Amino acid sequence: MHKIGFIGVGIMGKSMVRNLMKAGFELHIFARTRAKVEDVVSEGAIFHESIKDCVEGCEAVITIVGFPQDVEEVYFDTGNILDSAKEGAYLIDMTTTSPMLAEKIWEDGNKRGFHVLDAPVTGGDTGAKAGTLSILVGGKKEDYQVCMPLFEAMGTNINYQGEAGCGQHAKLANQIMIAGTLSGVCEALTYAKAKGLDLQVLLDSVSTGAAGSRQLDTFGPKLLAGDFAPGFFMKHFIKDMKLALTGANMSGLCLDVLSQVLANYEELAAEGYGDLGTQALMKYYEETMDDGEDEASH
């Protein structure tokens, strides 16, 4: 396996393309705006004006796009992946999307002679740059094993989750954990600030104890600095939480924490913060503090 098509060269995808090229793969990429990918083109990626041209003749095609409707478009629209990839190619969707959509791609792709895997990732832009992503794979186990060299170029914690759609279910479970943990970090910092604590001293004090977490380590310093730049867009996290809540409802589950965190994020998105990073959840609590201070002054 040498010639790889890659669609979705964004915050995550660009670093993944670079790491695949470092591992010796030939990368063919498609992006709607060439100017946004000129840096990786100058580094050796081969740009194509259409998805059809990008995937033709590739032994594997990797996609990591924004939303389920984008996944539908790149796979199912006339002239796109399922119509254009060569028979027997490995089709790997690394977008976080609907498990039902992953099953649909697998069923349709399998009928056409493709090897289909759903392989969403976690680790953010930092993990993508370092090549240390966690990769959660669903599909046939033998296909997972064949694609291991691709996965190893992009990640270090690579695990087979089960049949088609199981990679997506695993990623949604991951997002449920993040939702609760990041919300807890923001609430704790809000409480500490209201009580007049030195927030840096607090972080230094609790980060190595039972309250320590990857979310605290990653976002604690950014929150103290007021840095809300996206490593992962809030609007994409909202999409993930909605998918998780849909899956929970289908199984008759009541996930109260997830529901509340989603509501908080949707309120922020409605205020125009959707293109900030997930750590901008702190703005919700800052606004709550401001409201409390205003009421106290009256």
Active site residues: 171
Nearest-10 crossing angle of helices 166-194, 99-111: 160
Strand-pair category, 60-63 with 90-93 = parallel
Q: Which helix (H) or strand (E) holds 128?
A: helix 124-130
Q: Do residues 165 and 119 lie in contact, with contact meaning Cβ atoms separated by under 8 Å?
A: no
Q: Do residues 247 and 99 lie in contact, with contact meaning Cβ atoms separated by under 8 Å?
A: yes
Q: Do residues 257 and 211 lie in contact, with contact meaning Cβ atoms separated by under 8 Å?
A: no
Strand-pair category, 46-48 with 155-162 = unpaired
Residue 128 is encoded by which pair of tokens?
């993508």
Angle at 11 between CA 10 and CA 15, to 5 degrees: 95
Per the document, the length of the chain is 298
